[in-house]
A = this chain, B = another copy of it.
Amino acid sequence: MRKEANRDVVSEISDFLRKRGLEPRIVTWKDRTLLVTHRNPAPEEIAPLKENKIVERIAHPTLRAQLASREFQDSTSPVRVGSAEIGRTKLAIIAGPCSVENREQLLKAARAAKECGASLLRGGVFKPRTSPYEFQGLGEAGLRLLAQAREETGLPVITEVLEPGKVDLVAKYADMLQIGARNMQNFSLLKAVGKSKMPVLLKRGMMATIEEWLQAAEYILLEGNPDVVLCERGIRTFEKATRNTLDLAAVPVLRKTTHLPILVDPSHATGCRDFVGPMAKAAVAAGADGLMIETHPSPETALSDPHQQLTLEEFASLLRELELVAKAVGRAIR
């Protein structure tokens, strides 16, 4: 609908669609109102709408993830997170520790991230751990530390949220909400972060097809939250030399099918410090819009994922090398 469409007009057209069994859904999308139907109507069913001037555009995306589809919007839609932007020529680098452990650890990692040219700071405070006997994160105390790190460095912060009931709490402190791989199809959580209107980083489930992933994103978009970023982090296969198998081909596949920005997390994908650098370069060469990389002032003492976090020196060195690869494909780090 055009910007100037008021409630009555929207309601009228919605009724028109409902009578035709199209189950329209009214979605507020940036400064527009969308009417999203559950199936693609035949041209004759909606012929009158084509003449209606208040109707700006009628799109017929074929995917079951209509709003995520490149047929709905044909260029990458950048997502702004505080001072950062994801989906521009300049790559977005998210760095920081797997878990927030204490003030000193986090601030060291945050300062190093800032100096090296990272755009966002990451740090887990609610940790989804396979075993209940593993470290579960600092909770709200960790959120406060993240907020302090942002104040000191100016970097916007991102952290994972695990349940609908905690979305408001996390949103109070963080600039971007992360949905982890295990929750990619936690539909209640997807709806909740959709309603929050906060920028969301949606990681791919380790068992999810690309099509299922886009449909998970659609749950968030349909709540009227257009600020979704996808993050490939490896899928589960029979190969055990790496923690997961990084499916880098997902980057061009997604580029062709969706307008959402695409990041890659080589840390969780490989689970091994030695392989993070090569896979980070490969991700940039494949066309990713940025990277999420785990860094820690002293990985060997980390409370989670000690083997995959880079030291701050390794991170600085990697970003210098990445700058060259980025340029080779028309992108930049700084």
Chain A residues close to B by CB (< 8 Å): 38-39, 64-66, 128-133, 162-166, 182-183, 185-189, 205-207, 209-212, 215, 218-219, 222, 235-242, 245-253, 255-256, 269-270, 274-275, 277-279, 281-287, 321, 324-325, 327-329
- B235 near A252 with CB under 8 A, answer no
A256 (CB) vs chain B CBs: closest residue? B274
Question: Which residues of B lie under 8 Å from residue A248 when comparing CB positions?
Answer: 246, 248, 279, 282
Evaluate whether A130 and B215 lie within 8 angstroms (CB atoms) in the complex, with A285-B285, A286-B282, A325-B325 already known.
yes
Contact partner, A235, options B239, B269, B279, B282, Cβ 8 Å: B239
Contact partner, A240, options B209, B269, B328, Cβ 8 Å: B209
Question: Which residues of B lie under 8 Å from residue A64 when comparing CB positions?
Answer: 130-131, 133
- B210 near A207 with CB under 8 A, answer no
A328 and B279 CA atoms in complex are apart in Å by 14
- B210 near A241 with CB under 8 A, answer yes
- B128 near A187 with CB under 8 A, answer yes
What are 23 A-B residue pairs whose CB atoms fall within 8 Å in the complex? A64-B133, A129-B187, A131-B215, A131-B218, A132-B187, A165-B165, A186-B186, A209-B239, A211-B241, A235-B237, A235-B238, A241-B249, A241-B250, A246-B248, A249-B270, A252-B274, A252-B275, A278-B286, A281-B285, A281-B329, A282-B286, A324-B328, A325-B325
